[in-house]
Amino acid sequence: MKYCPSQLLLSFFLISFLGCKTETKPEIAFPVKNEIVYAKGFSIKNYSGYSIITVKNPWPKATKTYTYILKEKNGIVPDSLKQNVTIAVPIKTIVVTSTTHIPSLEMLDEVNSLVGFPHTDYISSEKVRARIEAGKVKELGMNQNLNTEVLLDLQPNIIIGYGIDNNNPTLDNLEKSGLKVMLNGDWNEETPLGKAEWIKFFGALYGKQKQANTLFSKIEKDYLKTIEIAKNAATTPTILAGDMFEDRWYLPKGSSWGSLLLKEANSNYLWQETTGTGSLSLSFETVFEKAKDADVWFTSGQFSSLKEMTDKNPHYAQFKAFGNKNVYSFNARKGKTGGILYYELAPNRPDIVLKDIVKILHPELLPSYKPFFFEKLR
């Protein structure tokens, strides 16, 4: 079941420059070096007076690469790069289109720059909800049909969009109207730290690369430390994930973000050997045959109690994990309008997600830790 208005994907490649005698060659690096380590969807190159962000594959199997120039005040951009979208930085106003973009603004202390969002009810961040209630963040309708009139009135410095395929008429029309659009592909990163590293994308827009690097380094350090802690576990519990939606059971494929987190937590996710990064769609019978004796069950987040589960499908009670009340959900925290915080924050904070899972599966390893996203269903 999907609660977040979006999912996204982006990969970046390095571009080379041909300089002519009449233009400034990009040879002088900024004091702040921005290295992208885990994310495959973007790259940042810093030069004297400007930076270059390159986005590759902003949707699955995309063939086009997108290059954006971030120009500082009084910066000189070489003629060979002027055909690309150029954004004056640091930006002052922004429109984002996925809840996964919100935490980066909050961590960088730039929430006040957000002026518009599609389907604002999805947002859970307390700081952003306060701005929405104060009328400072405009409702923009649907992602597939953003309200052009409102956007033209807002005139944001940049619109952060996403694509699921090569057909993006809304974003194309906004660009034709003179608005500047950048594609973001955090949703398509395959690793937990790869998703989290996209905070550096936003850091570059605000002239806060050093701060973004520091924030990510802390997340990385805590995540890797928790992996080492999990290696000390005495057991490797078997894991069932997901649940039924309509007549199909949806659960993560073996190379997906969620599957990797379960693996790092030292558990045996029963479908971890499958390939792909999306979701498996299986029959109840197929799942029951393989997972009826699983030790722990992480649901999709659509239920708040065991009774809600059996009211929806009485056969859930046949699973060992259900009978032992070892069923967990990540919908413990919700925004004022019902948005689940996990969908918004978890991709940016895999360190917290991993700690939660390790605490659930191996409580003796983190004796004083209390899960943030997850709760046991009663």
Spatial CB neighbours of 267, under 8 Å, sequence gap ≥ 6: 236, 237, 238, 239, 296, 357, 361
> What residue ranges do the domains of the chain occupy?
42-220, 231-376
Q: Read off the pTM.
A: 0.89
| pLDDT at residue 33, as a whole number | 60
Mean predicted confidence (pLDDT) in 101-125: 97
| pLDDT at residue 110, as a whole number | 98
pLDDT in tens, 171-196: 889 999 999 999 998 988 889 999 99
- CATH for the 231-376 domain, from 3.20.20.70, 3.10.450.50, 3.40.50.1980, 3.30.470.10: 3.40.50.1980
| pLDDT at residue 307, as a whole number | 97
Average pLDDT value over all residues in the chain: 90
User: pLDDT higher for 238 or 21?
Assistant: 238
pLDDT in tens, 300-342: 888 999 999 999 999 999 999 999 999 999 988 988 998 899 9
Radius of gyration of the CA atoms of the chain, in A = 22
Among candidates 153, 147, 152, which has minimal Cα distance to 117? 147
| In contact, 341 and 316? CB cutoff 8 Å | no
| pLDDT at residue 3, as a whole number | 41
| pLDDT at residue 225, as a whole number | 98
Count, residues in the chain: 378
**Tokens matching residue 228:** 């080492």
| pLDDT at residue 58, as a whole number | 79
Q: Are strands 65-71 and 50-56 parallel, antiparallel or unpaired?
A: antiparallel
Spatial distance between the Cα atoms of 15 and 223, rounded to a whole number of angstroms: 31
**Tokens matching residue 214:** 């520091």
Spatial distance between the Cα atoms of 313 and 300, rounded to a whole number of angstroms: 14
Mean predicted confidence (pLDDT) in 136-145: 92
pLDDT grade for 291, boundaries at 50, 70 and 90: very high
Mean predicted confidence (pLDDT) in 361-376: 97
pLDDT in tens, 58-84: 777 778 899 999 999 999 999 999 999
Spatial CB neighbours of 149, under 8 Å, sequence gap ≥ 6: none
Q: Does residue 42 register a pLDDT over 80?
A: yes
Q: Say whether 231-376 and 42-220 share the same fold.
A: yes
Spatial distance between the Cα atoms of 78 and 91, rounded to a whole number of angstroms: 21
pLDDT in tens, 252-279: 999 999 999 999 999 999 999 999 888 9
pLDDT in tens, 204-219: 999 999 999 999 999 9
User: pLDDT higher for 348 or 30?
Assistant: 348
**Tokens matching residue 282:** 């299986």
pLDDT in tens, 16-26: 323 333 444 44
pLDDT in tens, 149-177: 999 999 999 999 987 777 778 888 999 99
pLDDT grade for 198, boundaries at 50, 70 and 90: very high
**Tokens matching residue 135:** 């009328």
Q: Does residue 32 register a pLDDT over 70?
A: no
Architecture per CATH, 42-220: 3-Layer(aba) Sandwich (3.40)
Q: Does residue 13 register a pLDDT over 90?
A: no
| pLDDT at residue 8, as a whole number | 35
